């Protein structure tokens, strides 16, 4: 049987270093919020496959749905021979997503694909080519995804040139000196110095930035963007790939706002670990590409579609929106208590269970990257998997399954406290 050391050697010989891997151990099995490596060591998972496992590892209802579909058929390519489950899921997503207008949904395989297709749809609908994104935003690793992403290292290094007519504005971030007013002023300056707003097809943003550091878009900023888009005929795209499906305590992060997007991109926890993504939006906008302009060989794979139906059922029956709020409050309360002894915790933020802490040196006021890495390493040594993020790499984010057992959650918080206190 393979052990972690031998697998590390095989990995180094067989796979490229460009695929960055956090852990030096290899998973053998997992259940809900726990996993075991090939040597039998147990870990508590506060990473959730990067926000993919809101319903946990191997939820029995999701597994059963995939097994049932597996016995019927695994692939026909929806564009060749369609199937009802795809249509039924689109109907459910159309009903669940915010927006009091007729909607349509198209399915794809990855979050980056969803972003690419949202931009295609926006350009087709408006006849324009420009797109505005924000600093710190993450929208994927394809060429368009990288162009939209507002962080150079490690995502963009060595991969240019990128698609043209992509522009960036600063995302509101009071902790780092960017107010809503400054961000909006920068957008207006962009329209004066770089691109005519009548050439802009879309503004895309994450309501809560993921890789960027879990910074939340203020409600007044979202309202201003909606007004700006309406004024200039620009489409507003909400990238909900990391925020969707109960993570923020509501079905979608945009449910926290009193404005509605024109298009949304969805993925990650939609199918509980099976590759599925979507673009949802106003019906008349979604219908602008010609037949054949959207799709993909594996887009809307029937196994992933079956998993997604089960995920939606689990979120509803197990009341995971309420559970996200409960767990998030428990976590924030514990972090506030820890903060009294750990002055490096400069901020505790995030809606629902999309929570993060930012570590800053209390003397210099600078991002404390080394302490962030050390906390992550100490937690991993004790059996807790954590993820870091942020433009300055000094943010620890928490993406545990919303189905996590109370006892396992409490154990994870104890390990987290020990790691933070050193």
pLDDT per position as a tens digit, 292-310: 999 999 999 999 999 999 9
The pLDDT value recorded for residue 118 is 98
Query: What's the CA gap between 53 and 47, in Å, rounded?
Result: 9
Q: Which residues pair with residue 168 across a beta bridge?
A: 133
User: Tens digit of pLDDT for each residue in 92-127?
Assistant: 999 999 999 999 999 999 999 999 999 999 999 999
Q: How confident is residue 401, by pLDDT bands cut at 50, 70 and 90?
A: very high
107: alpha, beta or left? (left if phi > 0; alpha if psi -120 to 50):
beta
Q: Would the pLDDT of 1 be above 90?
A: no
371-394: b (≥16 Cβ within 10 Å) or e:
bbeebbebbbebebbbbbbbbbbb
Q: What is the mean predicted confidence (pLDDT) over 32-36?
A: 98
Within 179-272, strands assigned E span 200-205, 235-239, 263-266
**Alpha carbon distance, N-terminus to C-terminus of the chain:** 35
Q: Which fold has domain 63-317?
A: 3.40.640
Alpha helices, DSSP H, located in 346-405:
369-381
* Residue showing tokens 């749905």: 65
- Mean pLDDT value across residues 242-260: 98
pLDDT digits (tens, 9 = 90+) for 326-339: 999 999 999 999 99
Catalytic residue, chosen from 37, 46, 214, 239, is: 239
For the domain made up of 4-58+319-421, the CATH class stated in words is alpha beta
**Annotated catalytic residue, options 252, 255, 262, 268:** 268
Give pLDDT, residue 403. 98
pLDDT band at residue 315 under the 50/70/90 scheme: very high
User: pLDDT by residue (tens digit) across 49-104?
Assistant: 999 999 999 999 999 999 999 999 999 999 999 999 999 999 999 999 999 999 99
The pLDDT score that the predictor gives to residue 360 is: 97
Measured distance CA(102)–CA(98) in Å, rounded = 11
Active site residue 341: no
Residue 134: active-site member: no
Instruction: Name the pLDDT band for 351 (thresholds 50, 70, 90).
Output: very high
Share the mean pLDDT of the chain: 97
Q: Is the pLDDT of residue 254 over 90?
A: yes
CA-only gyration radius of the chain, Å:
21
Confidence of residue 400 (pLDDT cuts 50, 70, 90): very high
Catalytic residue (choose from 46, 107, 108, 138) = 138
Q: Active site includes 239? A: yes
Hey, where are the domains in the chain?
Answer: 4-58+319-421, 63-317
**Per-residue model confidence as pLDDT tens digits over 39-48:** 999 999 999 9
Across 252-269, average pLDDT: 98
When pLDDT is cut at 50, 70 and 90, the band that residue 171 belongs to is very high
Contacts of 154-160 spanning 24+ positions with Cβ under 8 A: 154/20
DSSP 139-202: --SSHHHHHH-S--TTTTTT-----SSEEEEPPPBGGGTB-HHHHHHHHHHHHHHT--GGGEEE
């Amino acid at each position: 049987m393979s052990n972690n050391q031998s697998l590390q050697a095989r990995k180094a010989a067989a796979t490229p270093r460009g695929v960055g891997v956090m852990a030096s151990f290899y998973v053998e099995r997992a259940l809900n919020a726990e996993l075991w490596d090939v040597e039998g060591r147990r870990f508590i998972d506060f990473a959730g496959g990067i926000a993919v496992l809101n319903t946990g590892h191997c939820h029995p209802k999701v597994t059963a749905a995939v097994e049932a579909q597996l016995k019927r058929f695994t692939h026909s390519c929806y564009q060749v021979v369609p199937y009802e489950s795809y249509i039924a899921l689109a109907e459910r997503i159309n009903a669940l997503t915010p927006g009091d207008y007729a909607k349509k949904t198209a399915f794809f395989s990855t979050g980056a694909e969803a972003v690419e297709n949202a931009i295609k749809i926006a350009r087709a609908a408006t006849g324009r080519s420009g797109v505005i994104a924000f600093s710190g935003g993450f929208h994927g690793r394809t060429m368009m995804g990288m162009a939209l992403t507002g962080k150079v290292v490690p995502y963009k290094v060595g991969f240019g040139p990128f698609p043209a007519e992509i522009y960036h504005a600063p995302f509101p971030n009071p902790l780092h000196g960017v107010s809503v007013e400054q961000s909006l002023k920068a957008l207006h300056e962009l329209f004066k110095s770089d691109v005519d707003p009548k050439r802009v097809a879309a503004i895309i943003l994450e309501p809560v930035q993921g890789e960027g550091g879990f910074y939340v878009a203020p409600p007044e900023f979202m309202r201003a963007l909606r007004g700006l888009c309406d004024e200039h005929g620009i489409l507003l795209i909400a990238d909900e790939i990391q925020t969707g499906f109960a993570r923020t305590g509501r079905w979608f992060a945009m449910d926290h706002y009193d404005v509605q997007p024109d298009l949304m991109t969805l993925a990650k926890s939609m199918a509980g670990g099976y590759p599925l993504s979507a673009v949802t939006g106003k019906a008349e906008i979604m219908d602008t590409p010609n037949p054949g302009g959207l799709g993909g060989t594996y887009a809307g794979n029937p196994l992933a579609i079956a998993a997604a139906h089960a995920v939606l059922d689990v979120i509803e029956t197990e009341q995971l929106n309420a559970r996200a709020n409960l767990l998030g409050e428990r976590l924030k309360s514990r972090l506030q208590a820890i903060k009294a002894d750990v002055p490096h915790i400069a901020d505790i933020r995030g809606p629902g269970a999309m929570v993060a802490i930012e570590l800053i040196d209390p003397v210099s006021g600078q991002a404390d990257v080394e302490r962030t890495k050390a906390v992550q390493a100490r937690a991993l040594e004790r059996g807790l998997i954590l993820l870091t993020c942020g433009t300055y790499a000094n943010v620890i984010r928490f993406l545990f399954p919303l189905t996590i057992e109370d006892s396992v959650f409490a154990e994870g918080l104890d390990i987290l406290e020990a790691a933070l206190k050193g």
